Amino acid sequence: MPRLSEAVKRDQARITDAYHGLMATNPDDREPDAFVWALARYLIVENLALLPALEYHLSSSRERQRRLSDDYDSIHTKLRHMVKYDPSEESFVSALRAIWVDLEPHIREENDGDLEELENKMGLEDSEALGRKYETLREMLQKPYGKDGVPDEETLRDVLDTTKQELMERMGMGGGV
């Protein structure tokens, strides 16, 4: 079973690859749903698995948790904005780049500090347990949508339009982050 940091980094790699693939694709051939869903799913799972672990294990986590929550809100808002554009429009590319402006440093900060510090505080057994939780939550969000894991446009729009609080309540995770 993967450690928490391995599970998070695997998701981050999927999102990074999807972003670069989307940017490299001919504008008329862009299909953003896989990127949108990978990023939306990552944001949800990170809030349910990683943020509580940071809060519990790291004394400096209050400020970092606030910044991660701000990142979530900003990226989520920009993602909702981006999906309103036709992928062949320049506005779509501008909105996609705006997401990356927030997402790239978010990923870098997690990889260069948060995850390593958290792994050092937790130990192998706790990290593997949280890695399982992370993967389970990710799979819960994946299963209804088949092998490719991308929901239809209506479901995707519903997920993007649902607040973090509502998503957590729907998943039975209560109202807190």
Q: What is the pLDDT of residues 59-118, one digit of tens each?
A: 665 677 777 778 888 998 999 899 899 999 999 999 999 999 999 999 998 888 888 888
- Write down the pLDDT at residue 172: 57
Percent of the chain whose pLDDT exceeds 70: 77
- Write down the pLDDT at residue 175: 45
Question: Which stretches of 46-123 are DSSP H helices?
Answer: 51-57, 61-82, 90-109, 115-122
Closest CA to 114 of 69, 60, 41: 60
Buried/exposed 50-64: b ≥16 CB within 10 Å, e otherwise: bbbbbeebbeebeeb
Whether the CB-CB separation of 106 and 43 falls below 8 Å is answered with no
- Write down the pLDDT at residue 136: 84
CA gap 126, 22 in Å, rounded:
36
- Tell me the longest C-alpha to C-alpha distance in the chain: 48
Alpha-carbon torsion angle 105, 111, 116, 121, nearest 10 = 60
Q: Which two tokens stand for residue 140?
A: 């819960």
DSSP SS3 for 79: helix
What lies within 8 Å, CB to CB, of 152 at 6+ separation is: none
Whether the CB-CB separation of 11 and 138 falls below 8 Å is answered with yes
Whether the CB-CB separation of 22 and 142 falls below 8 Å is answered with no
The beta-strand segments (E) located in 29-168 are none
